[in-house]
Amino acid sequence: MRREYILSTANRFCYNDCLIISRGYFLIMELIFEVIRKHSGGYTATCLNDHVIDTRAANLEELHDNITAAVDARFIGRPKPDPSAIHLMLFAE
């Protein structure tokens, strides 16, 4: 179930399970990745609710490591989502 809502206050609002605070800091409660298995081999993963996170890999183990590294890099100096809040949806090309 995808929740879409906006709650306006003086310095923050919520949208799609994200808390965004006025000074550019935000905490994403869930990250949902679309993982596509390519015909030519390999995988691509794009985060659907934070389009800055995008990675590729030759196999699923490498993809897991790349997603972990990309999430860590995206949330430097900020709270990271709990690993149980990172979801993958796997599709074939």
pLDDT digits (tens, 9 = 90+) for 45-69: 999 988 789 999 999 999 999 999 9
User: Cα Rg for the chain, rounded, in angstroms?
Assistant: 15
CB 54 within 8 A of CB 45: yes
As a whole number, the mean pLDDT across the chain is: 76
pLDDT class for 93, splitting at 50, 70, 90? confident
Rounded Cα distance between 79 and 5, Å, is 22
Strand partners, 82: none
Percentage of the chain surpassing pLDDT 90?
46
pTM for the model stands at 0.69
CB 16 within 8 A of CB 4: yes
**30-92 under CATH 3.30.2390, yes or no:** yes
Q: Given a cut of 80, is residue 6 above it in pLDDT?
A: no
Q: Other C-beta atoms within 10 Å of 65: how many?
A: 12
> How confident is the model at residue 27, as a pLDDT?
53
Q: Other C-beta atoms within 10 Å of 36: how many?
A: 16
